[in-house]
Structure 1
Amino acid sequence: MARRIGKSTTSSNLSVAFSKLGSVSFQIGCDPKHDSTFTLTKALMPTVIDVLESVEFHAEELRPEDYVHEGYNGVMCVEAGGPPAGTGCGGYVVGQTVKLLKQHHLLDDSDVVIFDVLGDCGMRRLCLAATTCRACLGRHCQRL
């Protein structure tokens, strides 16, 4: 998928569709604009990076409710955040987010995890290497 063609809308629609089928569904926004889950939560949520920064990167001080928010129809929403496209490693930010979700055992009972990733080539390696990803959207993730 290319930029500006509705990846977040598609991700949100899939998240809701899975939840309406009875699946426990997570949507993880992987964009510095942190607006992937806006249609599900009706608010711009703080990013995982912002929340980590607020506790001086002491992840052990965080609780799930600090960075996970319930959206429409029970979809669990997380905004990873990250550097602007082409200026840093978005994969690092997403990796830290997944690590935090695993530390809090939030992915244990999930049926579907949708990563709404940037449409640039920087996310390709993450998508190809994602082991927790059961559904991954983005122009480089067709193989999954």
Structure 2
Amino acid sequence: MNVTVGAKPVPSAQASQAEALRAEASIEPDAPVTSEPKKETQIIAIYGKGGIGKSFTLANLSYMMAQQGKRVLLIGCDPKSDTTSLLFGGRSCPTIIETSSRKKAAGEQVIIGDVCFKRDGVFAMELGGPEVGRGCGGRGIIHGFELLEKLGFHQWDFDYVLLDFLGDVVCGGFGLPIARDMCQKVIVVGSNDLQSLYVANNVCSAVDYFRKLGGNVGVAGMVVNKDDGTGEAAAFAAAAGIPVLSAIPADDDIRRKSASYEIIGKPGSPWAPMFEELARQVAEAPPVRPTPLTHDALLGLFKGEAVGRGVTLDPATMEDMCAAELVTKPSLEVVYEGA
């Protein structure tokens, strides 16, 4: 209904609203997106006992992933700063902690080219740590990640970010990915020996603990390195409820090439199929909540003669501690009646 004022009709509010709706309906919608959806970055923390072969595994794994067309960032979070040495043929790259201190003293800003380096499609960096007796390694890791955030860590575009963490140390910074949900899943590297499986079990315990508190990180599985076929690591994985992603044999060719800083996870190499399969497993294995073992259950994976079972704990006495017979003196304590 229109209202006439003089010679010009004035549209009613209802008519105006109807015209606005018609105009809005006539606008063509955006064309549907047909491109491939962007994948979420998988951030994976790899834990294990010092010297068990985390850096060897990660260098070859990251190299193979890059050769498969994946964008991979490898971050060494071990104070020894040796994660990337195999990748770079034995050369050490400047660490984030060292570079940050040097640049700060010079009044300069750290840029990505100061701390991140490339080889054949793999991007790599080392957090580093303090010198012996001059600081806390865990705090160094926290500081390193704070600097990574300033450099734009959350805006970087990678398919995989692999974090190499020392599993022996349990103080704050080393548990960062698990405690703060900084990664989606954890992989443990172990061998058929009690000490490496003890560390792997500790990592599983940490994951289980933070899951109880509402965390989301899970264990994707275990890589058995230097596998001699005795089976303790596989038995641990089965008992903890996690899969074995790969078993890297205790082979002399692998040992020699690793010692000479040679990548064996190259397409076409004799060991390529093993790392191709590991890359697939790492990508696809879902994070699960593990079932950590008790210490006795962990010992039960090994033969008695291997771990010294049957030994009893004989309590020491004060005479033992002083290497002499002690004279028992009467107490001078005053005891009041009714006290």
Instruction: Give the TM-score normalised by the residue count of structure 2.
Output: 0.37
Among 127, 131, 140, which residue is 1:80 paired with?
Answer: 127
Larger radius of gyration: 2
Q: 1:54 aligns with which of 95, 102, 106?
A: 102
The reply to whether residue 38 of structure 1 matches residue 88 of structure 2 is no
In the alignment, does 2:151 pair up with 1:104? yes
1:126 maps to 176
Larger deviation, residues 36-45 vs 102-111 = 102-111
Aligned to 1:90: 137
Separation in structure 2 between the aligned mates of residue 119 and residue 57 of structure 1, nearest angstrom:
32
Partner Cα separation in structure 2 for residue 31 and residue 121 of structure 1: 10
User: Shift of the alpha carbon at 1:53?
Assistant: 0.8
Mapped partners of 2:72, 2:174: distance in 1: 23
Among all aligned residue pairs of Structure 1 and Structure 2, give the percentage whose two residues are the same amino acid: 33
CA RMSD, aligned part only?
2.9
Which ranges of structure 2 fall in alignment gaps of 5 or more residues?
A: 1-47, 189-199, 208-217, 220-339
Is this contact kept in 2: 1:70–1:77, CA < 8 A? yes
Report the CA distance shift for 1:129/1:111 in structure 2 as closer, same or farther (over 3 A): farther
Q: Which residue of 1 aligns with 2:74?
A: 27
TM-score, reference length from structure 1 = 0.79
Unmatched tracts of structure 1, length 5 or more: none
Aligned residue pair count: 143
Whole-Å Cα distance in 2 between the matches of residues 40 and 84 of structure 1?
Answer: 23
